[in-house]
Structures are given as structure tokens and as C-alpha cells.
């Protein structure tokens, strides 16, 4: 695929200009999704250092961080220093014309440069201005994913038991917040299409996490139940965990009584479907320990791969414990095309990227540009007249 940002754009968001002040993950993830769908995203970075994730490695590809690459394709990088008056003039000219402004600085930072929402909307009344914070716009607290996982309760329900709080193996709170930001931006643009009115979109990591904890937060808010870590078990469904077999491990995710009957039939113990301890999901949860013993005994006579084949054929949700390489290979086998390659004349080899997961039949995602080098597209700074971008 071509990596030129001059290529023709035919995405759903073609013609949309986004001034992107996002750094690290939540903001850049949101703007990359919008860029994939055709928006023109201008990433404003500090000269000399740029986005923090440019230095977050290993892994590296040459001198480039794969972390930075993961959320910054299809963007142009402008190296502009907000503390430099000439650069700041250029930035203000850009935000005056932008359809969307995205920022995830500490609250108040953009105001100090007269780039906050109140200042920008005077210059650009129909702007959609998205602020991403850790704890809301009135709380001057830094928001890093690990911190939010800790204070937001995610670590308390993750890990082998309640005494071993564990973080999720990826910055999931940032990713979820980025998704919320993208949805909020699109909703605001839809409103602008109808009314001509811009508005401010605010998302924060803590609120996004509490929403993303879904049934766990709901259990507390609705029933006063404070959940605890259960390892690979589910608080409300059984069997729904990792099982030992005669060779490696297998995940069973049995969500209803019909699937349970199919499971025990394939395992050669169909009588368990009629056992009063296991006849319904709530009874299976109540008698989880003895259920696990019975299923593990039956599973021990064959390998995980063999059970995967037989159980899948019977409509039972199950699967092996894959690593990332296995997961990508599985997606390839299923025809999901999880990897794209972006050609770039400045690089010796195409840039391999994880594909955008959104599939649109008429306006699919496009991959027009590799993640930019720092300041790669910066126009010359002029004090008398801002350059066209």
C-alpha cells in the first residue's frame, strides 16, 4: 500500500482537518482511528523530543519505537514549540481552521497558551474540541494508565487472587478512553452537521474505566457487591475459565445451558447436564469447584488441540491459550487480514501495522502514510503569513 499522504483520500471523514495535540496513547489512538477513516490529522510535537512514545522502547525497528508506530500512522508531524511566539502564531492559525482539536495535556495547560476551548471557539465557533484527561478537567492530576488501573479498581479484580493485584498486560484504559474520545468527536460532528454548532467533548481515564468495567461496576452500584480477583474465573458464569487437559491448557467459555449439555456430551459425561448441581448456570456457579474437578478429569484423557477441534465442531466456545504470534496467525487463517504494510520511500522496508478493525463496505479504512518522523511535514515558519497546511 502507498504511504504517501498526498494520495487521494476517499474515506468517510475526507476533508476533515484535525489539529492533534495528543501524546502517548489515548489521544493518538483516537486520532489515528479518525485518520484511517480519511481525516487529515496534523500532529503537533515539541521540536527535538516529540511525543514521549518515540523513546518508548524496546522493541525498535531501526531507531523507531514500535510503540509510537502503533498509534500514529496517516498523520503529518509538525514540530512546533508552543513557547516560541512565531510557532505559536502558526499553531493558532491551524486551530482557527481545524474542524477538530484534540489535546490531552494536564488541565489548564492549553489555556496558558490561549489555546483552550474558550479561546479557540472565539476564533473558530464551530470547532469540535476534545480534551482527554486522567481525572476530569477540574482535577490537576497526571493520568497514566497504570495509575488509573490501580486507583480505578481494575487491578483489584485482576490477578490470581485478592492478595495479588495485577495490571492488565496492555494500557487498556488508554485504549478504551481513546475509543470514547473518537465516538464523542463523531457525535459532536454529527450535531454540527445538523446545527452548525461546535462543542467541547471531554473524556477522562477514570470515568472510561468505570464504564468499561461493566458488570463489575454494575454489581457494586446496583447490588453493593464489591468484586475481588478470581484469577481466570468469571463471577457470574461457569464453566468459564482455563482448564488443564492431557496436553497444554484449554479455555472453556460456556455461556448457557445448551452449550453445557453439548460440552459434557462431547466429553463423554452427558449425565452431568441432568445433575441438579449443574443443570443451570447459577447452580454451576454455586458448585464451581466440584464442576471443575469433574471436567478436568474428563479433559485429561486427550490434548487441548484435540478437544478444541471436537468441541468447536459441537458449537462449544473454547480455544487454546495463544501468544500474540499465535493470535495474529489465527486471524490470518480466519481471513481477517490483521496486518497491513505501508510503503514509504524514506524507509528501506514497508512499515508493518495492525489493521484498523472497523470494516466499512463503501468507505473502508485507508493506509496513506507511515507513522511520521518527528517534524517530517513541518512547513517553514513565517511571522507575516502562516503557510497553507
Catalytic machinery residues: 174
Q: Are 132 and 201 in contact (CB under 8 A)?
A: no
Q: Given the C-alpha cell 476533515, which residue does it identify?
A: 16
Alpha carbon distances (Å) from 190 to 128, 210, 275: 10, 26, 54
| Beta strand residue intervals within the chain, DSSP E | 17-21, 40-45, 60-61, 64-65, 75-79, 100-103, 128-133, 199-204, 240-244, 249-253, 318-320, 339-342, 351-354
Which burial class, exposed, middle or buried, applies to 59 when counting CB atoms under 10 A from its CB (0-12, 13-18, 19+)?
exposed
* 3-class secondary-structure state, position 68: helix
In sequence order, what are the beta bridge partners of 78?
44
Q: What are phi and psi of 91, to 5 degrees?
A: -65, -45
Residues 6+ apart with CB under 8 A from 34: 13, 16, 18, 41, 100, 182, 185
Radius of gyration of the chain (CA): 25
Amino acid at each position: 500500500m502507498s504511504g504517501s499522504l498526498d494520495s487521494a483520500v476517499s474515506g468517510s471523514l475526507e476533508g476533515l482537518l484535525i489539529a492533534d495535540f495528543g501524546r502517548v496513547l489515548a489521544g493518538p489512538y483516537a486520532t489515528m482511528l479518525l485518520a484511517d477513516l480519511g481525516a487529515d490529522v496534523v500532529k503537533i510535537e515539541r521540536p527535538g523530543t516529540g511525543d514521549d512514545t518515540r523513546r518508548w522502547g524496546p522493541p525498535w525497528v531501526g531507531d523507531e519505537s514500535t510503540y509510537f508506530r502503533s498509534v500514529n500512522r496517516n498523520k503529518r508531524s509538525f514540530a512546533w514549540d508552543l513557547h516560541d511566539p512565531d510557532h505559536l502564531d502558526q499553531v493558532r492559525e491551524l486551530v482557527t481552521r481545524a474542524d477538530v482539536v484534540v489535546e490531552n495535556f494536564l488541565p489548564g495547560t492549553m489555556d496558558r497558551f490561549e489555546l483552550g476551548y474558550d479561546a479557540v471557539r472565539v476564533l473558530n465557533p464551530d470547532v469540535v474540541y476534545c480534551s482527554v484527561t486522567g481525572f476530569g478537567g477540574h482535577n490537576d492530576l497526571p493520568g497514566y494508565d497504570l495509575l488509573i488501573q490501580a486507583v480505578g479498581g481494575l487491578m483489584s479484580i485482576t490477578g490470581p487472587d485478592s492478595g495479588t493485584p495485577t495490571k492488565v498486560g496492555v494500557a487498556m484504559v488508554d485504549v478504551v478512553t481513546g475509543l470514547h474520545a473518537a465516538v464523542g468527536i463523531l457525535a459532536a460532528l454529527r450535531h454540527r452537521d445538523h446545527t452548525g454548532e461546535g462543542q467541547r467533548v471531554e473524556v477522562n481515564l477514570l470515568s472510561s474505566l468505570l464504564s468499561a468495567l461493566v458488570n463489575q461496576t454494575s454489581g457494586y452500584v446496583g447490588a453493593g457487591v464489591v468484586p475481588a480477583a478470581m484469577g481466570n474465573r468469571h463471577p457470574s458464569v461457569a464453566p468459564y475459565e482455563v482448564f488443564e487437559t492431557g496436553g497444554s491448557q484449554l479455555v472453556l467459555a460456556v455461556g448457557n445451558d445448551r452449550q453445557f449439555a453439548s460440552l459434557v456430551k462431547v466429553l463423554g459425561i452427558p449425565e452431568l447436564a441432568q445433575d441438579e448441581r449443574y443443570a443451570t448456570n447459577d447452580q454451576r456457579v454455586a458448585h464451581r469447584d466440584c464442576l471443575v474437578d469433574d471436567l478436568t478429569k474428563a479433559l485429561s484423557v486427550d490434548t487441548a488441540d484435540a478437544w478444541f477441534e471436537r468441541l468447536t465442531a459441537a458449537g462449544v466456545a473454547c480455544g487454546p491459550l495463544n501468544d500474540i504470534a499465535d493470535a495474529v496467525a489465527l486471524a490470518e487463517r480466519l481471513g481477517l487480514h490483521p496486518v497491513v504494510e505501508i510503503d514509504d520511500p524514506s524507509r528501506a522496508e514497508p512499515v508493518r501495522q495492525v489493521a484498523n478493525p472497523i470494516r466499512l463496505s463503501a468507505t473502508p479504512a485507508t493506509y496513506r502514510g507511515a507513522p511520521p518522523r518527528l517534524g517530517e511535514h513541518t512547513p517553514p515558519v513565517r511571522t507575516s503569513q502562516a503557510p497553507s497546511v
